[in-house]
Structures are given as C-alpha cells and as structure tokens.
Amino acid sequence: MSFCPSCGSPAPAALVDGVEVPCCPVHGAAWRLVRTGSTVEVAVVRSGRVLLCKRATEPYAGCWSLPGGFVNPGEAPEEAARREAREEAGVETELIALLGLYLSSYRKDEWLTVATYLARSSGEPVADGKETSAVAWFSEGELPFLPWNQEERVRAALWRAGC
C-alpha cells in the first residue's frame, strides 16, 4: 500500500489515463506517488575491480551494493553521484562516463530511474559507519549478490572500463 504524500492517507490503486496508480481519495494521484524517482549509482573501477559498499541500513542491510542514492531536489545527477561516493565510500571520484539510464523496482508501486556512472578514484575508500559498514574491491568473478539488478550494471561497468 502506498500513502498520500500530502495527508498520509492510504492511497489504493485506481486507473488514471488507463494506468493503475496509487490515488489518495482526497488528493488524487500526487506526482510523488505516480512518477518514477530519480537516483544515481557509481561504479568506481580500479585494476579490474569495482568498489562495493556493505549496506548498514534497510533495505538490503548487510548486502553489498554500489554507492548511490536519491538525487536531491535541484541537484544535478553528476553532483549526486559524486556526493554519494563521498558519503558512502569516502572517496572523491572522477566520472568517466554515463554507463546508462535504467529502470529499477524499489518497493511495491514505487519505481526508480537509475543513472549509473562509471568513475575512477585515486583515494582509499572508507566506510562511513552509518550507511555503510564496510567497503571493498571485487573482481567480476568475486561478485556477491547485488540488489536492484545491479549485477548486470556492474558487469557492464567492468567491461566498459576495459577490465
């Protein structure tokens, strides 16, 4: 069940323009319920390995993932990507390329577009101890389970980087 961002009421599914979307009985289908959220993730590559963070918070606490997160209001995707790498992995990054734009399922009725960047960094990663409990480099053959279908994007990043 989704909830109205204006009043918090349950927003059950209803048809809007032929598409089933969550609708508040009072406020209707608010754009935050209907639109796809904007997120970024960063594949920092070095010597054939990709930098992953062990998540300390839900969802997927305890799993490894690319550093990333929501784009803040008014923030450029590139800025968000560099900020997330700094916050979650403690590294300054140079973005090399936009690997691609992807659709990802977040929770029921909630969708994300993910801008995935390929990046390099000369810094030594450090877990922040809050969002991230550990950081490590993984080769393609060592990849752990990755949420949100990140595995295909990580493999694409390693291939694109010529690793």
CB of 25 to Zn ion, least distance (A): 7
Nearest-approach distance from CB 13 to Zn ion, in angstroms: 15
Report residue 74 as tokens: 């008014």
Minimum gap (Å) between residue 19 Cβ and Zn ion = 19
User: Residue 7's CB: how many other CB atoms inside 10 A?
Assistant: 12
- Kindly state whether residue 91 participates in binding Zn ion, applying the rule CB under 5 A: no
Nearer to Zn ion, 7 or 101 (CB): 7
Q: Does 6 bind Zn ion (CB under 5 A)?
A: yes
Structure tokens at 31: 């754009």
Stretch that binds Zn ion, among 20-28, 76-84, 111-119, 152-160 (CB under 5 A): 20-28
Residue 62 makes CB contacts below 8 A (sequence gap 6+) with: 54, 55
Contact 124, 79 (CB under 8 A): no
Q: How far is the CB of 16 from Zn ion (least distance, A)?
A: 15
- What Rg value do the Cα atoms of the chain yield, rounded? 17
161 in contact with Zn ion (CB under 5 A): no
Q: Which of 15, 16, 26, 103 binds Zn ion (CB under 5 A)?
A: 26
Residue 44 in the binding site for Zn ion (CB under 5 A)? no
Q: Residue 32, interface with Zn ion (CB under 5 A)?
A: no
| Residues ≥6 apart with Cβ < 8 Å to 39 | 68, 69, 70, 71, 104, 112, 113, 114, 115
State the chain's maximal CA–CA distance in angstroms: 55
Q: Which of 7, 16, 61, 76 binds Zn ion (CB under 5 A)?
A: 7
Q: Which residues bind Zn ion (CB under 5 A)?
A: 4, 6-7, 9, 24, 26-27
